[in-house]
Amino acid sequence: MIKYDLICSLSHSFEGWFSSSTDYEEQNKKGLVCCPICGDLNIERAIVAPAIKKSKPETELKKRNISNLNAVELHTKMRTLTKEIEKHTIDVGDNFAEEATMIYNGKKKNKPIRGTATKKEEKELKKEGVPYIKLPLIKDN
């Protein structure tokens, strides 16, 4: 069964249940679908937001076989990610909060940066709306 949100020409909305979309189309063409409020036969399907089913994180992990990673494999993947981040960003060290704020406010050229910030600096960045991502970077031993 398919449930459709329907609307008549007088803007009354209601639900209709049909065995298929073809069944709805055929019944509507024959004038068998009418508004239960006013009896109007000029019926259309209402525009509705799509229903998006969220999968459980555990299910997603199993689908991707990530849950089966052992510690060595996970470390390797994190190290690879770290190398990519290092390759495409500039290390500003302890000046991260200051640099990020200046870039955000247009006082410095926009460039990808990485570095460290104190908890106090992180709170200030968040308060000012400066976007940043906090990631654990894995260094070679």
pLDDT tens digits for range 97-112: 999 999 999 999 999 9
101 sits in the region (left: phi over 0; alpha: psi -120 to 50; else beta) called alpha
Extents of the domains making up the chain? 2-45, 66-128
Q: What is the pLDDT of residues 20-34, one digit of tens each?
A: 889 999 999 999 999
pTM for the complete prediction?
A: 0.48
